[in-house]
Amino acid sequence: MIPRLTLGVAERGRVDHAAHETLHGPLGETRHRGRGLLEELERAGLRGRGGAGFPTAAKLAAVRAGKGARSLVVNAAEGEPMSAKDAFLLESAPHLVLDGALLAAEVAGASTLLVAVPEDARAAARSLAAALAERPDTQEIETALVPARFIAGEESALLRYLGGGPLRPRLTPPWPAERGLGGKPTLVQNPETLAQLALVARHGASWFRAVGPDVRPGSTLVTVSGAVRRPGVYEIDPRTEVPVVLGLAGGTLEPTRAVLIGGYFGAWLDGAAALGARLDPAALAPLGAALGAGVLVVLGESACPVAELSRAVWWLAGESAGQCGPCVHGLAAIADALVALAEGRADAAAAERIAAWTSLVERRGACRHPDGVARHVRSGLRVFATELEDHRLHGPCAACSAPPVLAAPVPEAALA
């Protein structure tokens, strides 16, 4: 555990404004601000923590170069069912996020500040409201509750919704940094990114880079769940070996069949491969995985990977925004075929057909939803090939009806 973002959280639970100023120093005494902060962020190499890993300084510079009434939106609408880190941050260290938002708005020249919180994240919204009341410098910051949907995390969909439109992505470019809220340049940042920015502003780039690999410097928040003793959010160095990270979560409860890394847009790794890996990009890329928004889900030997995979993909297909044909129809076809496989109703070519369809849907949506799902499916087909064939031949196994490890909320349509 590296206490940077989480400094004081273990002792206090929630770091209020007074404690925040004691632990991190007042915002007014921050070393790097404005243009200086932009340069420091470039040196720090901070990348977005919402999953895409876009360089934060580049985004800030783009909005700074823009004209007109610019906005900053704090995107706490995680959407990712297995991630809890942004809600955790708002609940535990809200003032780092608010400091980051104020500092980033200053750099970007943004005059409107909005925090978008999913409507089911009640504790996060309560803590945020309390934090805004605890300090005098956040009167400009408004809070917006947004639907707790997967697509709400997608920048352009979120901005359309906040602008009074539907919660659906639009075609990019132009990027939000060019045309966002009210048609003006808008900086959309994840809460963890802004909290890290607040630390870079205080301690500088060298301090920031002392933790983490060169390609993804800094500490990172991970959400660990599944077959571990203490599921939760932990702050780690991405260079840490996976077993050490699982150790922070109290260790595994049973032998590990596989680990889902990066969440629903992530990839499954075979248990042995996962337990031998570190979480930095250089170690994960050859395995076809990426840390994304920092999700690790441990699937124990007692769970059924086929049931987990088909359920997750079926849920993801339903989370399509419903705009692009290949996403709507392709993901539905993939999900249906996986469910048929899991139930022993598929022919011998089913897995091959699913693999072909995943390639067909990739890069054919307005947003990256089909690409994320394709990555998840492809890794599942690879890692669970034996179990998939077994289900195809013999139908559901004893573990199929066990409680889900991947907590995909069941849409109403499935209950009928």
Partner 1 sequence: MSRRLVVDPIACTGHGLCAELFPEGVELDPWGYPLLAAEVPDGHLGHARRAASACPALALRLVRAERVAAASAETAGAPRRG
Instruction: State which residue, 52 or 397, has the beta carbon closest to partner 1.
Output: 52
The stretch near partner 1 (CB under 8 A) out of 121-129, 205-213, 241-249, 327-335 is 327-335
Burial 93-128 (b: 16+ CB within 10 A, else e): bbbbbbbbbbbbbebbbbebbbbbbbeebeebbebb
Site for partner 1 in 253-272 (CB under 8 A): 265
Task: Name 363's Cβ contacts closer than 8 Å, sequence gap at least 6.
Answer: 370, 371
Nearest CA-CA partner of 51 in 85, 27, 92: 85
Q: Tell me, what amino acid is at 380?
A: G
Told to check if 51 binds partner 1 by CB under 8 A, we report: yes
Stretch that binds partner 1, among 197-205, 210-218, 289-297, 311-319 (CB under 8 A): 289-297
Please pick, from the candidates 330, 339, 341, 408, the single residue that binds partner 1 as defined by CB under 8 A: 330
Sequence-ordered list of residues with C-beta below 8 angstroms from that of 28, at least 6 positions apart, any chain: none
Tokens of 146: 């947004």
The torsion defined by the Cα of 325, 331, 332 and 337, in degrees rounded to 10, comes to 140
Distance CA 210, CA 4 (A): 12
Site for partner 1 contains 225 (CB under 8 A)? no
Structure tokens that stand for 203 in this block: 């301690």
Count of residues touching partner 1 (by CB under 8 A): 45
Tell which one of 231, 247, 326, 404 touches partner 1 (CB under 8 A).
326
Per CB under 8 A, does 293 bind partner 1? yes
Among 325, 395, 409, 411, binds partner 1 (CB under 8 A): 325
Quick check: 66 and 179 in contact, CB under 8 A?
no
| CB nearer partner 1, residue 135 or residue 179 | 179
Q: Segment near partner 1 (CB under 8 A), from 122-130, 169-177, 198-206, 226-234?
A: 169-177
DSSP-based three-state secondary structure for 144: strand
| Candidate residues 66, 100, 118, 153; the one interacting with partner 1 per rule CB under 8 A | 153
- Closer residue to partner 1, CB minimum distance, 26 or 325: 325
Six-digit token string for 35: 């243009």
With binding defined as CB under 8 A, does residue 333 bind partner 1?
yes
Would you say the C-alpha torsion 71, 181, 163, 189 has a positive or negative sign? Answer: negative
246 binds partner 1 (CB under 8 A): no
Stretch of 99-107, 338-346, 359-367, 404-412 contacting partner 1, by CB under 8 A: 359-367
User: Euclidean distance between the first and final Cα of the chain, in Å?
Assistant: 45
Distances (CA, A) of 368 to 54, 109, 292, 326, 382: 14, 29, 13, 12, 21
Among 329, 336, 382, 404, binds partner 1 (CB under 8 A): 329
Furthest-apart CA atoms within the chain: distance in Å: 67
> In whole angstroms, how close is the CB of 145 to partner 1 at the nearest point?
16
Sheet holding 141-146, edge to edge: 141-146, 110-118, 70-75, 186-189
Interface with partner 1, residue 155, by CB under 8 A = yes
Q: Which residues pair with 69 in a beta bridge?
A: none
292 binds partner 1 per the rule CB under 8 A: yes
CA–CA separation, 8 and 246 (whole Å) = 22
Residue from the set 27, 101, 104, 158 that interacts with partner 1 by CB under 8 A: 158
Please, what is the minimum distance in Å from the beta carbon of residue 311 to partner 1?
Answer: 20
In the bound state with partner 1, the residue whose beta carbon lies nearer, of 53 and 231, is 53
Nearer to partner 1, 27 or 324 (CB): 324
79 lines the binding site for partner 1 (CB under 8 A) = yes
Which residue of 225, 323, 358, 379 would you call a contact of partner 1, by CB under 8 A?
A: 323
Under the binding rule (CB under 8 A), the answer on residue 287 touching partner 1 is no
Q: Is residue 369 at the binding interface for partner 1, with CB under 8 A as the rule?
A: yes
Residue 154 contacts partner 1 per CB under 8 A? yes
Collapsing DSSP to helix, strand or coil, 318 comes out as helix
Contact residues toward partner 1 (CB under 8 A) are: 48, 50-54, 75, 77, 79-80, 153-155, 158, 170-173, 175, 188-190, 265, 290, 292-293, 323-327, 329-330, 333, 357, 360, 363-369, 371-372
